[in-house]
């Protein structure tokens, strides 16, 4: 709540006019940087096996701020009886 002369009013004066400094902002950090990391819990998976792999992605921008809400995709391929996981 913004009150005349209160801490969130733009001019800070109790002058009978409330000046509202608020607006709509969109948070944008930019593109991922080379400081982002991807960690995979295993090097490979044997075809027909029951082992699973977990992938942890930490995406950051150039200022090392976490980028949340991103969509991450990965592909798998079969190579010599093992599944290679790439991101």
Convert the pLDDT of each residue in 57-80 to its tens digit: 888 888 888 887 777 777 766 666
Residue 27 confidence (pLDDT): 67
Cβ neighbours of 83 (radius 10 Å): 16
Q: Judge if 5 and 44 occupy the same domain.
A: no
CA distance 64 to 86: 23
Are both 75 and 58 inside the same structural domain? yes
- 41, 11: one domain: no
pTM: predicted TM-score of the whole model, two decimal places: 0.48
- Rounded to whole angstroms, what are the CA distances from 69 to 21, 29, 42, 63, 87? 28, 12, 25, 17, 17
Give the pLDDT of residue 20: 73
Domain holding 81, by residue range, is 37-86
């Amino acid at each position: 709540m913004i009150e005349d002369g209160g801490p969130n009013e733009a001019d800070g004066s109790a002058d009978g006019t409330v000046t509202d400094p608020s607006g709509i902002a969109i948070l944008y950090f930019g593109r991922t940087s080379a400081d982002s990391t991807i960690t995979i819990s295993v090097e490979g998976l044997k075809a027909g096996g029951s082992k699973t792999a977990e992938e942890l992605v930490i995406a950051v921008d150039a200022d090392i701020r976490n980028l949340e809400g991103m969509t991450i995709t990965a592909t798998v391929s079969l190579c010599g009886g093992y599944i290679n996981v790439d991101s």
